[in-house]
């Protein structure tokens, strides 16, 4: 990697319980709310409440059975250099995923032209991509071009 490449890795350390249960394949998010309201979910031996957070290392049980999520969400802030294409397509030479070379499957949030440089976010969290990019969320986008 070029020495001018700046990559910042951050792993989210907490996650809402219903998202945790959904990602573990135990229930949909609505189904998780039902499990919680029925008192079938515990975190570290205490009955869970809707909205509670799960931290790494917490002991989560549903009806007495342990629940594990296979991965944490990863968020990468990358100063994309000129010449790199904002795509996950492996057949594109100089793609952003090969540049970062992270072992998890990641994808970019938005795009920057190949001839552009600047901040771009990459993640393995599809929910945040939808939250950021979908028009109905009405996030203002501002570009500074020089």
Maximal C-alpha separation, the chain: 58
3-state secondary structure of 129: helix
End-to-end Cα distance, the chain:
26
- Dist CA 96 CA 4 (whole Å): 15
Q: Which residues have a catalytic role annotated?
A: 113
- Dist CA 90 CA 93 (whole Å): 7
């Amino acid at each position: 990697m070029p020495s001018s490449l700046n990559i910042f890795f951050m792993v989210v350390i907490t996650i809402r319980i219903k998202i945790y249960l959904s990602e573990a394949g135990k229930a949909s998010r609505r189904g998780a709310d039902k499990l919680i309201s029925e008192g079938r979910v515990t975190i570290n031996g205490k009955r869970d409440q809707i909205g509670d957070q799960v931290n790494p290392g917490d002991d989560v049980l549903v009806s007495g059975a342990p629940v594990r999520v296979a991965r944490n969400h990863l968020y990468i802030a990358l100063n994309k250099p000129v010449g790199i294409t904002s795509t996950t397509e492996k057949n594109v030479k100089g793609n952003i995923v090969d540049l970062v070379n992270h072992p998890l499957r990641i994808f970019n949030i938005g795009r920057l032209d190949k001839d552009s440089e600047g901040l771009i976010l990459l993640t393995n969290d599809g929910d945040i991509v939808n939250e950021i990019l979908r028009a109905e969320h009405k996030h203002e986008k501002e570009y500074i071009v020089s």
